[in-house]
Each structure stands twice: as structure tokens, then as C-alpha cells.
Structure 1
Amino acid sequence: MPKTLKALLKPGAMLAAMVSGATLPGCSNTIVIRYCLMTMLFIMFIPMHFGDIKIQRTHLRVLALNFVMALLPYALFQAAGRRDLALAAFWTGIAPTATAAPVVMGFLGGQVSYVLTGFVLTNAFIPLSLPLLLVALSGHFSWSSFLPIAWNIVQLIGVPLYLARIVRMAQPRAIGFAKRLKGLSFALWVVMLFYIAADASRFIHSQDAAGTAGAIWAIAAVSLVICMLNFSIGYAIGHKGLRRESSQTLGQKNTSLTIYLALTYANPLAALGPTFYVFWHNAWNALQLYLHARKANNGKSDG
């Protein structure tokens, strides 16, 4: 298969899933999204080795910036009377570091352990903070609101993590097996995108068509700006020699988690923020990988 065609397969599959889902609003099903996500997390947790985790000061800056990039746009859009953009910006900015971020950093020849540490730190603290944040954003606190959200997130993250630890201890060879399941994880992600698009389409059909279309374009733009800021600010705050790593840790996000939570606790329009982010951060990564490969090839030519 030609390399160009092979490179287009994954984005093509993602686009096809979203277009198909958008044309079939009757297929919306958040239960399928939930169990696809839990299966993906289970596969991801099996090979994870926590011995490489070494927290640096910049990791704490990245963690803090995740909250800033969620809460600051939320406050600004809320003050402007655009709650739709406020929610989309919040669910886009609050997403923790993506599973694939350490892998991409490996392709770029960077320090994988740094990004892995950022992944573990953000994926531990951000989900734990979300129940309190969601109740705070609603304007009032009550245990009856807080506890169901907390329990849902504990189940969503904790069950796959616990099962993965059991499997890893019982059968160490499962680590290699999990690494061979990357194709399954991507297939589950495509299925998720189909149902996400279907749910968003169902929501849009129930709203004013003209107003909702304008909101979608605005959400896409907000998501793009947040993506560019994340990669740029991440690069700026990194120590010398770790700027790309810091950029990747803040910029590449685990949107599958926040898409599901946005569908559960907000609405499908809010979930479009992190959904668009999938395309923006993948486009950024594609550009980085292209520039890295070109630099490497030029170096070989000069040699």
C-alpha cells in the first residue's frame, strides 16, 4: 500500500465515522460510548509501567494550565452570554494528556518518560477534580449532586485500571498482547466518533437550525484556538531541552474522556469542542512529524 494512502486511512476512517453518524441521528447511544471508552482505558492501562514516573516542576505547571485553559475561556464566554461556547471551551480545555502523547514524543525523538509522567499526573488529578468542578459550575454544592458524578468517574477510570492491574499480575505476557491491540483501540475510537456524531446530530435537529449551525462553526474556532494556545504555551513553559515534551503534554489531549462526560453532564453541542480538538491536535502532530522527518532526511543527505 502506498505510504500516502496509508497515512490517510486513519483520518479518513474518523471523518467517515463522523459523517455517517451525522446523517443517522437516530443511532445516538451514550451507553455504547461509555463501554467503548472503558475498554480503551483497560487496553491502555495494561502495559503502563509506573516506575518511569518522575514529577518535575513543569509537570505541575502543565497540570495547572489544564485548569486555566478550561476555566478562563468558560468565565469569558459565560460573561458574554454564550453558555454554549463556555461549555464547549471548558470540556476542551480540561481534557488531560492523551494516551498517544508519549508514543508521538517517541516518534519525535524526545524524552518519552517526561510525557508519560505528565500523562499519569493529569489523568489522575483532573478526573478526581471534575465532580467538584461540575458542581461548582452549576452554582451550588450539594452532596446529592457531587456523589453521583464522583461515583460515575470512579467507575469510568477505576474499573479499567483495577482490571488491568489484575490481568498484568496474573499474566505478565498480557503486556505484549495489549500492545498488539492498538488496532482494536482505534476501531473502538471510530465507533465512539460515530455515536458522538449521531448524538450531536440528534441534538442539533431538535434546535433552531440556523442558530445551531453558527454555534458549531464558533465551537470549531474556539477549539482550534485552544489547541494552538496549548501547544504554544506548553512549549514556552518547558525547561530548555524539554520544550517539545512540555508542549506535547499540554497540547495532545485525552478527548475521549471529556467527550463522554460532556455528553453525560452537558449536551452534545458542548461535546463538539473536544470532538473538533481531535482533528486539530492530530493535524498539529502530523505537521510536527513531517517537519521532524524532513529534518532527519536532510541530516542524512548532508552526511
Structure 2
Amino acid sequence: MGYNIVNKIKSYMMPIAMITGVLLHRYMDALGFLTPYLIASMLLITYCNISFKDIKFSRLHLWLILIQVFGCIIVYLLLLPVNPIIAQGAMICVLAPTATSAPVITGMLGGNVESLTAYSLLSNMTVVFVAPILFALTGEVDASSFIHSLWIVFQKIFILLFLPFFGALLLQKLLPRVHYEIQKAKSLSFYLWSIALVIITGKTVQFISDQESPNYIVEISIALAALIVCVAQFFTGRRLGSRYDNTVAGGQGLGQKNTILAIWMAQTYLSPISSIGPGAYVLWQNIVNSYQVWRNRKNL
């Protein structure tokens, strides 16, 4: 009975977390410092549950990573003449790495979990090196020069994304008991994600409410751009994956994003309003995933 109640709450946690963030948005700025720690903790739990010796990269992964890197640049350049903030909001939705929960959905859809896990690792490591360059080029980072801007972003993102990976390897080698205990606590990741979603939703709402002259057309356009990007990425990933007999992993790898990380990066290194993009992407990708799971169960 208790287990069913917990599962029921879990299924509604995304809207609960977002509504909580909206209602308590005035208090979320004080908790903003927790977000990178929550992200790092989620990644550490994820990496501790990966068998690195089973990681195998394929040609599909190469194509997906090229789309992730060059796709975000193309989207940004196409939308930049329209509005820089819309361009940033769409760009971050493409650049963001694969979600830590993507292997779970991939398994539910009968996809290749090992392939998706390998791509998730690759996409996170790629962001470590690509994101600082792109964020520095936008000119939003408060720094005296491009190189200074590059270094400011790189050191934080490197620590945030690489340290959990390195930490998981060290724990596996030096402290296997601790590594095992973290593996057992993988459900904790979901609760950390929920807390992070409350904080970043609240911060996004606060950024919007603090605007002196809000432009709702721009904000709606960012959300719509995120919708188009979301559908395009799932579609492209699935089409590309089908060529390598890996349809589900291709779609989830390219389409299901680490939106918590994306929102944090947008709020930290881009125009804060651009975080509406990945904020809306949370909703869009959950609608796509819910439809895919429903259709898959219907066809069983």
C-alpha cells in the first residue's frame, strides 16, 4: 500500500515540483547555490551505476554528438537575427547533454540501454569542452576578455561534470564499499532531481517577475522554440538510430535532455530569461516520453 502511494506521488512529482517552485519563487534565490551540488550528486550516483568496462562507442554516437555540437551552433546563428535571448534559449536545449534518467525510459521502451548509457557519458564529457567556448562567444559572461570568459566557465563546468565521473572511478577502485552503497541509493537521484526542479523553477519565475519591462512575446517564443527543438531532436535521433538498428536509444540520446543542468547553465552563463527554454523543455520532453511509453504499452 505504502509502495503504491510513493509510486503515485513519483508519477506526479514533476508538476508538483514546478508548482512548488512557482509558489515559493521568492525564497528560491537563497537556495540557488545548492543546484550545482545537486547536479553533481545526481551525476555521481549515475556514474557509480555504470559499468565502465561495458561502455562501447559506435558510429551512431559520433553522429549524435556532431548533431548536439553543430546543431546548437546552427540553431543559435539562425535565431540570433530574430532575438539573441530566443537564440540562447533554443541553443541550450540542443547543447544540453542526455538526461541521467534517459536509460530508464530507454529500458521501458525496449531500447538498447548500454548504447544510451555510453552516449550519455560521451555527451556530458563533450559539454565540458564545448559549453565554455559557446558561452564565452555569446558575450553574456562577465569577464574582461574572451580567454578570461572561457576560463571562468570552463573551470566551473569541468568541476561540475568531470569530478563526479572521476569520483566514481576512484570510489570503485579505492572504496568499493562506499561505491556499492551509492549504487544501492540510486533512487535518491529522483528526489535530488525534484528538489533541484523546485529551485530552478522558482529562480526562473523570479527572473521573469523581476523584469522592469517584460516582453511576453519573447518569452512565449522561447517556449515555442523549445517545443520545435524538442520534437526535432526526438525525430532526428530516432530516424538516425533506425539506420543502426538502435531507434529508441537514438531518440532518447538526442531528445531527452538534462534540463536541470541546462537551466542552471542558462541562468548562470546566459541571459537568465533564456532559461525559459529548457524550463519549457522539461514539459515538452515529458509529454513526448509519456506518449512513447503509452504507445509502447498499447502495442505489447
How far residue 234 of structure 1 moved from its aligned partner, in angstroms, is 0.9
1:209–1:184 Cα change, 3 Å: farther
- 8 Å Cα contact 2:128/2:162 also seen in 1: no
Aligned mate of 1:265, from 266, 269, 284: 269
Q: Aligned partner of 2:56: which letter?
A: K
After the TM superposition, which residues 29-44 of structure 1 pair with which residues of structure 2 at under 5 Å, given as runs?
A: 29-44=31-46
1:62–1:149 Cα change, 3 Å: same
TM-score under structure 1 normalisation?
A: 0.88
How far residue 250 of structure 1 moved from its aligned partner, in angstroms, is 0.8
Q: How far, CA to CA, are the matches of 2:4 and 2:77 in structure 1?
A: 43
Partner of 1:215: 218
Q: How far, CA to CA, are the matches of 1:176 and 1:283 in structure 2?
A: 34
CA RMSD of aligned residues (A): 2.5
How far residue 218 of structure 1 moved from its aligned partner, in angstroms, is 2.0
1:210–1:144 Cα change, 3 Å: closer
Aligned mate of 1:76, from 75, 78, 82: 78
After the TM superposition, which residues 87-106 of structure 1 pair with which residues of structure 2 at under 5 Å, given as runs?
A: 87-106=88-107
Q: How far, CA to CA, are the matches of 1:167 and 1:146 in structure 2?
A: 30
How many percent identity over aligned positions? 29
After the TM superposition, which residues 240-255 of structure 1 pair with which residues of structure 2 at under 5 Å, given as runs?
A: 240-255=244-259
Q: How far, CA to CA, are the matches of 1:199 and 1:295 in structure 2?
A: 41
- 8 Å Cα contact 2:138/2:270 also seen in 1: no
Aligned residues: 294
Deviates more, 1:133-142 or 1:58-67: 133-142
Describe the superposition over 1:196-244 as per-residue Cα deviations: whole angstroms up to 9, x where unpaired: 1221122112214652x33332222111111100011112222252122
- Structure 1, unaligned stretches of length 5 or more? 297-303
How far residue 61 of structure 1 moved from its aligned partner, in angstroms, is 0.9
TM-score under structure 2 normalisation?
A: 0.88
Does residue 10 in structure 1 map to residue 14 in structure 2? Answer: no
Q: Aligned partner of 2:165: which letter?
A: L
SS at the partner of 1:207? Answer: coil
1:70–1:201 Cα change, 3 Å: same
- Structure 2, unaligned stretches of length 5 or more? none
How far residue 166 of structure 1 moved from its aligned partner, in angstroms, is 2.4
Q: Which segments of structure 1 move beyond 6 Å, counting only runs of 4 or more?
A: 2-7
1:5–1:127 Cα change, 3 Å: same
Q: How far, CA to CA, are the matches of 1:65 and 1:7 in structure 2?
A: 35
Q: How far, CA to CA, are the matches of 1:110 and 1:175 in structure 2?
A: 27
1:16–1:264 Cα change, 3 Å: same
1:44–1:3 Cα change, 3 Å: closer
